């Protein structure tokens, strides 16, 4: 079974950019998003994916995830069928110890929000936090991408 275990954090400053070994542009839309499941279409640079995620477990630390690469033409068509509120972001990859932190710098309606995630093999796995990592927001629904499309960061202020 494909279970995703990750922690999410706010980012304190932009030093992650100098530490990054790669970045990509991501646009994603949601065909369905509720507490029981999300169905997402993602275009990441020249690749496209369909992802289905189950409900969050253990305070938001883990949940079932199924992801399949799909043809770009299909992704473009599916994006037209998504609910309003496309997520647009740049993802920066930063190595820290044995882990890679994915730092998402949001654009558009979520401009100014930067969140880092680290995937873990288990909920209690140790990891090294880079200096740019701030408050943990794992399990805070307002930081889920599916929620940011409905209640964008620009409306929080």
Q: Which residues does the annotation mark as catalytic?
A: 30
Name the DSSP letter for residue 84: S
Compute the distance between CA of residue 130 and CA of residue 17 in angstroms, rounded to an integer.
Answer: 12
Element spanning 77, H or E: helix 72-80
Enter the tokens of residue 136. Answer: 């943990």
Enter the tokens of residue 101. Answer: 């932190």
Compute the distance between CA of residue 97 and CA of residue 89 in angstroms, rounded to an integer.
Answer: 25
Find the farthest-apart pair of alpha carbons in the chain and give their distance in angstroms, rounded.
Answer: 41
């Amino acid at each position: 079974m494909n279970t995703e275990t990750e922690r999410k954090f706010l980012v304190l400053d932009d030093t992650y950019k100098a530490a990054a070994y790669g970045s990509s542009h991501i646009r994603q839309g949601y065909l369905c998003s509720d507490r029981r499941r999300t169905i997402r279409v993602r275009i990441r640079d020249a690749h496209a994916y369909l992802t289905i995620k189950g409900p969050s477990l253990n305070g938001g630390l883990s949940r079932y995830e199924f992801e399949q690469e799909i043809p770009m033409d299909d992704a473009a068509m599916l994006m037209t069928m998504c609910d309003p509120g496309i997520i647009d972001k740049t993802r920066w990859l930063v190595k820290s110890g044995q882990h890679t932190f994915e730092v998402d710098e949001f654009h558009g309606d979520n401009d100014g929000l930067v969140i880092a995630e680290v995937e873990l093999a288990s909920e209690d796995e140790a990891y090294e936090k880079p200096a740019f990592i701030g408050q943990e927001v794992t399990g805070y629904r307002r930081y889920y991408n599916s929620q940011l499309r409905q209640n964008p960061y620009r409306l929080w202020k």
